[in-house]
Structure 1
């Protein structure tokens, strides 16, 4: 299961010129800063496992309650980006970022690989979408080597808030609407659950990404990931 009731989900590419700096910044400044915010519980960064997955990176921050990512402390960080943040972000490509509520979360724990399925639902009735897709998350846990299935819905108003960190950036693509995160032990074991999501009549205009875990960050340097 995910650690909390809210997530910050970020898909992004990176230019070759900024790649090394991105890694150093993400590991040594950005993720420690984010997980240091009250209510932020865990950060994870993934990298694409195949050439068909775009953008290359997926980062997930899990927070105790959705209100944490609408709160003052997180806003202060976004409105006071460090010089390193500004430099690293200038190399981002095709960024899609969503502040989302976790509507359903199943599974015993994180897997080494993850599939993201971003989609638009067949109806604008959020309760109906959640009512039909939450049981699917439970059903997917019966597949071999699956360790997690999570249904999330972005909050459009919270996601669209502009801050000093996003000012002047031109790398943003459309934010996610709904998305499912599927965790597993192997890339191959993701395929049947991904297809089950894609074939569900509620799922339209889907974008699929397959990623492997690169780095996990908890609250302290000494905490096991």
Structure 2
């Protein structure tokens, strides 16, 4: 089964060690359930990095019918009025990054316990060709490897992302450029790590060098759907 739509919210979060226990309880007992039942949302998953040098420790994805659902007025109102528990936990975030993306290539098949996340900023002149290569060759071949289960390409929608920032009263960062994220699902850490490495090689051949890539392997923690 493919993803539950063509929209995806992705968050990268960290808190201080003394706040992690409550952070995980809040995420598992309130936050994901609250989001899954919002208009347009269908499934949410969260992960923890297994790489000790990961840029951000926790990753979460929220699948929506379309990316525009992430600028829905009801959702915007919820962002502006968080629960008391959400306000308490979110005030302790030491790192937070939020992407609202369109899924432009979906070669997924369910989901598994391990996830490779590759973030990069492609040159606009490379986008069409690279998107085609990912759809026709790269993601099908990586997903067909033993213990791999598929992958997708998510392209950040800056306009929708900025709508969320405005709803939370946060400033709009200057000089924004489109960011892409490739997600690779696998049954084992080794399979995902190998797939990440092969993806890095392919992107390098396409003109995106390793210093321009942010790659992390994550382990599944909790999810819910409706």
The normalised TM-score by structure 2 is 0.87
- Greater CA drift, 194-203 or 60-69: 194-203
Aligned to 2:198: 196
List structure 1 segments (4+ residues) > 6 angstroms apart after TM superposition. none
Counterparts of 1:160 and 1:65, CA distance in 2: 16
Aligned to 2:118: 117
Alpha-carbon offset, residue 125 of structure 1: 5.2
Aligned to 1:17: 18
1:213 equivalenced with 2:213 (yes/no): no
Does the Cα contact within 8 Å between 2:122 and 2:178 map onto a contact in 1? no
Q: Secondary structure at the match of 2:47?
A: strand
- Spell out the pairing of 1:1-225 with structure 2 (5 A cutoff): 1-124=2-125, 126-135=127-136, 136-161=138-163, 162-163=165-166, 165=168, 167=170, 177-200=179-202, 201-202=205-206, 203-204=208-209, 205-219=212-226
Counterparts of 1:13 and 1:83, CA distance in 2: 19
Counterparts of 1:166 and 1:46, CA distance in 2: 27
Counterparts of 1:166 and 1:182, CA distance in 2: 33
Equivalences, count: 214
1:2-36: CA deviation from partner (whole Å, max 9, x where unpaired): 22101001111111232122112112221111001
Counterparts of 1:182 and 1:35, CA distance in 2: 22
Gaps of 5+ in 2: none
1:162-188: CA deviation from partner (whole Å, max 9, x where unpaired): 2454649xxxxx898101000000000
Gaps of 5+ in 1: 169-173, 220-225
1:104-132: CA deviation from partner (whole Å, max 9, x where unpaired): 11132101100100011144454333222
- The structure whose residues are more often helix, as a share, is 2
- Greater CA drift, 27-36 or 121-130: 121-130
Q: 1:22 to 1:50 in 2, by over 3 A?
A: same
Q: Secondary structure at the match of 2:213?
A: strand
Q: 1:175 to 1:62 in 2, by over 3 A?
A: farther
